[in-house]
Amino acid sequence: MIAAAEPTYLISSPAAVLTALAGITAFFFFLENQTKWKFFAYFPPLLFVYTIPLALSNTGVIAHESPVYETMSTTVLPFLLVIMLLKVDIASAVRIMGKGVLVMLCGTAGVVLGAPLAYAIVQDKLDPSAWKAFGTLAGSWIGGTGNMAAMKEALEASDADYGLAVLGDNAVYLVWLPILLSSKKFADWFNRFARVTPERIEMLERASEGLDQDDSKPAMRDYLYLLFLGMTVTLASNWLSQRLPEFPPVLTASAWRILLVTTFGLVLSTTPARKIPGSQELAIALVYLFVARMGAGADLSGLKEQAAWFLVGAFIWIAMHGVLCVGAAWLFRIDVHSAAIASAANIGGAASAPVVAAHHNPRLVPVSILMALIGYAIGNYGALAAAWLCQLVA
């Protein structure tokens, strides 16, 4: 019997694959920076960073499987999560935004609790493993793209499930971002509805005062510090995760590794390590490179049949998040600007929260970044909780 021929790819060696992914990622951010097109506000580079490698790998250009993919999953992802969390400063965000942080946490609760409810509505139309896609998307909607990548690994989700998560993330983003931006037009009505006090408005005018902003440029030694810290935590987490009890299908060794990396990263954020410059920029660059890796490893055939119903579930889900955000704003008497930023810090992460803040009140841009970092901090914990609830429904 003649064995089937192995597929041949134009780009197949590990070095060539990594070069191609880095080039694709760099190109779209270069294009965004050089052109300043508003197009990218609604179709962010993330969409292309994922879909272009997806298309190339499914048409025989880039290898669908490569040793470099495994290395990125086991080493690069934990490393970037550690250095991404170094700048988390929950105390400063609470001091400046006050109860506005509670609106964000209620929005997080909307993501965690909305996931199983939305999944229950559409699960009959999806594959049995689709609860992992909901858990993966919850990572993005609580924290950001890095958390979504982490959940893909933690839940051992298939490339098709990750593809559904990316599809839902971007489709909802196209609708949700304009809603958050346009909510400024209803500020007076919303503030009367939420019974916002004059003191709250005055506080927003002083929002960025006293915020410690470190604008120092990273030196060569800073990258060495980050490399040492990130790899030390990665090695320790990999070792410990193999020795902790597992409770499948949610709490596996992969999930333990992500939780340990997250916890160690948060502990480091309370030490002088948080003052090392350049950690955020390096982490976000690696996040997008990892997203390109996920696109290259995905299979288009797994997306077609489930895409429409997954999107229905995603829009039901985001509506539940929105209801809890509005309810929390009314309960805590929070203005529409803070509520919109709180939602953006969840759903859009560090890429979208400053955009919404700049549109509503430029003084809130620094604190919007702090709130997005809180999302990074709690994203992996909350997303695993959402995945567990969805798994119970399944």
Q: Which residue has the tokens 């400024």?
A: 184
What are the beta bridge partners of residue 251? Answer: 247
pLDDT at 91: 82
Would you tell me the crossing angle of helices 145-154 and 159-182 to the nearest 10 degrees? 150
Q: At residue 63, what is the residue type?
A: A
Q: How far is residue 58's CA from residue 123's CA, in Å, rounded to a whole number?
A: 27
Residue 213 resides in a domain: no
pLDDT at 32: 92
pLDDT in tens, 317-353: 999 999 999 999 999 999 999 999 999 999 988 878 8
Residue 127 resides in a domain: yes
Q: How far is residue 366's CA from residue 111's CA, in Å, rounded to a whole number?
A: 24
Domains in the chain, number: 1
* Domain enclosing residue 276, as ranges: 14-207+222-393
The DSSP 8-state label assigned to residue 251 in this structure reads B
Length of the chain: 394
Q: What angle do CA 273, 278, 281 make, to 5 degrees?
A: 125
pLDDT at 1: 43
Residue 9 resides in a domain: no
Interacting residues of 145 by C-beta distance below 8 A, sequence separation 6+: 46, 287, 288, 291, 349, 351
pLDDT at 376: 92
**Tokens read off for 101:** 């942080």
pLDDT at 99: 87
Residue 227 resides in a domain: yes
Are 257 and 14 in contact by the 8 Å Cβ rule? The answer is: no
Residue 46 resides in a domain: yes
Q: How far is residue 87's CA from residue 93's CA, in Å, rounded to a whole number?
A: 12
Residue 375 resides in a domain: yes
pLDDT at 18: 96
Q: How far is residue 157's CA from residue 177's CA, in Å, rounded to a whole number?
A: 27
Q: How far is residue 296's CA from residue 339's CA, in Å, rounded to a whole number?
A: 36
Residue 215 resides in a domain: no
Are 72 and 234 in contact by the 8 Å Cβ rule? The answer is: no
pLDDT at 320: 96
pLDDT at 215: 63
Q: Give the Cβ contact number of residue 273 at 10 Å.
A: 17
Q: Please return the burial class of 192, using the count of CB atoms within 10 Å of its CB with bins 0-12, 13-18 and 19+.
A: exposed
**Tokens read off for 356:** 């919404």
Which residues of the chain register pLDDT less than 50?
A: 1-4
pLDDT at 208: 60
pLDDT at 216: 79
What are the beta bridge partners of residue 62? Answer: 11
